[in-house]
Structure 1
């Protein structure tokens, strides 16, 4: 009984934002011939499945190489007028499949999947992550990223179709507010590089 209560205390906050799905995580196709070097740099979040850990606006992530060939991952958001940043580490978990990255924002937590389903490197990237919970159900995370703060609606709709074609339910996907990030808070970009 104590184990069940401990698991419930851990899982309930996650479930508040994510919608659990029965069964294990899907295995979507990822970007073929993925080029990590071209993927590096700044990506703005255009849309996402709701998450407990992203509640602000002006969300972006900057990827750079570290000296040890790992990836420095700096994610940020503006919440209640304050810039919040978190730094993590990314790795290619399988050299045969470099589009399947792992990212961790803590030394004590394992790497979470960060799979690049599709990218053209200069405009958009579709990213998926999934966590199995006791192999009974899974929690999805999905993001549409862009090199700019906006994308045409047709591009967003096409991105959602790619998720659907990979058995990933993005009907609850929400747009990320990326305005007035530049105009009212130009300091954001200066502090992220």
Structure 2
């Protein structure tokens, strides 16, 4: 009886883990990943122009992400930002892989071992200079650019796209990218 209970408990844990992990690699119904997508064009440095607040970037300014290709075809992710309270740089190293096809901008990224979360590029300028990125739901949104600053009219254009996709753009944060530290 005890052996059967352990087997059932393990099966339930595996099922629950699968459900939770699958939920984190989904995407909002209101967005579609960019396709066709070229990972080679997407690699390099991106600057965070705006984001919805979340705990793992709270209080950070001068936020950037650098994407490089690993030998195994996965993508190395280095997220960096300046913690204004601690007055020091913070860095998180991660790994991203495609959820489906490599020409579809739906990836999953991990900074914590086997736990992945969605990274969905749902808008991308043809020259790969601006990107709107979602997480697995509309609580996660980033406006990224190849340059650290963007004029207000251009920001407004991309914010309108995100708002139309169902994001709470009135809650966007605009991290400082210019002030010297």
1:119 is displaced (CA, Å) by 1.5
1:42 is displaced (CA, Å) by 0.3
Indicate yes or no: 2:146 matched with 1:142. no
Distance 2:100 2:61 in 1: 33
RMSD: 1.8
Cα deviation 1:26-84 (Å, max 9, x = unaligned): 34122231111100000000100011111211100000000000000000111132111
Judge conservation of contact 1:128–1:141 (CA < 8 Å) in 2: yes
- What is the TM-score when the length of structure 2 is the normalising length? 0.77
| Displaced runs of 4 or more, over 2 A | 24-27, 120-123
Match of 2:87 in 1: 81
Q: Which runs of 5+ in 2 are unaligned?
A: 1-26
Match of 1:49 in 2: 52
Q: Which runs of 5+ in 1 are unaligned?
A: 1-23, 132-138, 186-193
Distance 1:154 1:31 in 2: 23
Q: Among 64, 69, 83, which residue is 1:65 paired with?
A: 69
Q: Among 107, 116, 119, which residue is 1:114 paired with?
A: 119
Match of 1:155 in 2: 154
Distance 1:170 1:75 in 2: 22
1:168 is displaced (CA, Å) by 2.3
Judge conservation of contact 1:58–1:78 (CA < 8 Å) in 2: yes
Q: Which has the larger radius of gyration?
A: 2
Match of 1:103 in 2: 109
Question: How many positions carry a matched residue from both structures?
Answer: 151
Match of 2:34 in 1: 31
